[in-house]
Structure 1
Amino acid sequence: MSESKKKVALVTGGSRGIGAGIAKRLARDGASVAITYTRGADAAASVVKEIESNGGKAFAIQADATDADAVIAAVEKTVATFGRLDVLVNNAGTAIPKTFEDTTLEEIDLVININIRGVLIATKAALKHMNDGGRIINIGSCVGERMMTPGLAAYSATKGAVKMFTQGLSRELGARAITVNNIQPGPIDTDLNPAAGDWAQPQLAMTSLRRYGHVDEVAALVAFVASADAAYITGANLTVDGGTNA
């Protein structure tokens, strides 16, 4: 991705897990990277330090995905710091595994506000600055397309919304050669969904490969979609799930 050397990327929720992996991969490919985080300043600083130690450019911004003003300010700071914005990765998200009947209204609001409202806000703010030929990459979920896991009804609904937002927005931005794609991970080994966790066995049983995925495997697909090689891919829902939805 030599063309990434002049690109600027913003990765929401980039302090840990999949987001951190994406930020590091884009930086390794040559992009200047801004990341947002809600809590865990030390983790965010660690991601920035690793990128900088490898010769890259990065900085972290505290911005809760539920706070519209903070999200918009993060986009503005990215542009003010790096001078442009070429790639937005809407990665910030959350899940609260429990039966829908037992889910509180506050929990429903939180999942909706982070997983879909936050995506809409960040995207709207980014489009004011994004160059033609830019990339909007949403991190959805394989359960947004095919739901087989009890306890994730509200979460899957928000990821299904991300899927349809991706398809709809791609229709609007084609004239600017801005692509909009949705990466749909399956079970990925992170601190929020560890391969040795309580929810691991039923997820493993649904994969064809009989293993959890790695953060780097999601980041590799994001890097491809961000590249010039993927210029003719838009409105796509690209699943990296070890065959969960096969």
Structure 2
Amino acid sequence: MKVNIVRFAVFTALVYVFTVVVQFAQPFTGGYFNLGEAAIYVCALISDPLTTGLAGGIGSALADATTGYGIFAPATLLIKFTEGYVASLLFKKMGRSNSSIANWLVSLIYFVAISAIGIKFFSGNLTLSLSSYSFSFNIPWEFWVLVGAIIMIIPFIIERRTKAGARYASLLLAGMIMVTGYFLYEFFISNPLTGRPSIAAVFEVPVNFGQALVGAAVAIPVYSFLRKGGYIEDEEDKSEDKDKK
């Protein structure tokens, strides 16, 4: 499998920019929320798996190394490479399917995971400390069920066509690699090294789910726009042209 050098260079830079332009630090793990998944997923939809994996892994790792999150750079290189590679591969395999079963299954997994984690760790009386200020508030468990339900139907709100749902499912499946990878790295390596409790890695799981959701929500409309505008052409376009003939 050959790497498209031009796309690799462009998307590596794009992943880097998207990762550093918005960063919200997570004190429980020392990590941060970012928009890098949006660039990785766009690349996955229009490029080959190896180009996507390399651009995602190198661009994201460089972002970690240059913005004060160097402890995550080695893990990021591997996690984001795998995420990008799998996202592109899954899209090639299932992203053009007319079946919505995969979409529903992936959405259900996200619903269960987010609801369960929210109910277990983020419900009840919580205290948020910001500098010298502390705020106490109560979050009912029903709130997380509602959040999970909203997330479950996002694919069908973004774009009602079945194929768009299959695209969404392929990206979110790859997103689970990112969520799981960072949880394991933070639980066993980065949190112990920085003196944080290992279990605190759980608190970044919803954040990383959010990264995958936002990334897919951005990438799918961008991909549709590029196709409709004639800026890219894939096998789906070619098959549609054959049908017209």
In proportion to residue count, which structure has more strand? 1
**TM-score tier after normalising by the smaller chain length:** under 0.3
- Structure number with greater Rg is 2
TM-score in terms of structure 1 length: 0.26
In proportion to residue count, which structure has more helix? 2
Q: Whose RCO is larger (CA < 8 A, sep 6+)?
A: 2
